[in-house]
Amino acid sequence: MNAPLRSEAAAEVPAESSATRQVLRRKGFPEAHFVGLWGGLGSGAACEHRGRVIESDEIEEYELVFVRHAETITLRFHRECWERCADPATSM
């Protein structure tokens, strides 16, 4: 299970980066609202950045949680990928 890293990180983490918006648009949730960022060990899910699996024993996983109406959308990234995606100077 992932432990909460920062539950109110919206102010300090650029979760509304254009790269994240691109992923949301691709998934069909362009207007979803950011609600929180969670961190923990990899869950075995595929990273949104390039689809590589986030292994439970390797890299820290970041989960970005969004809501759209009653739906919850979770985007998972390797920490490394997330930091790259969150940097507006680099493209996905």
Which residues are at the interface with Zn ion (CB under 5 A)?
47, 49, 78, 81
Q: How many angstroms separate the CA atoms of 21 and 1, rounded?
A: 26
* Residues 6 or more apart whose Cβ sits within 8 Å of residue 18: 88
Instruction: Name the residue among 73, 83, 81 with its Cα closest to residue 51.
Output: 81
Closer to Zn ion by Cβ: residue 63 or 78: 78
The string of DSSP letters for 58-84 reads: SSEEEEEEEEETTEEEEEEEEHHHHHH
In the bound complex, what is the minimum distance in angstroms from residue 2's beta carbon to Zn ion? 16
Closer to Zn ion by Cβ: residue 21 or 68: 21
Closer to Zn ion by Cβ: residue 36 or 49: 49
In the bound complex, what is the minimum distance in angstroms from residue 18's beta carbon to Zn ion? 17
In the bound complex, what is the minimum distance in angstroms from residue 77's beta carbon to Zn ion? 6
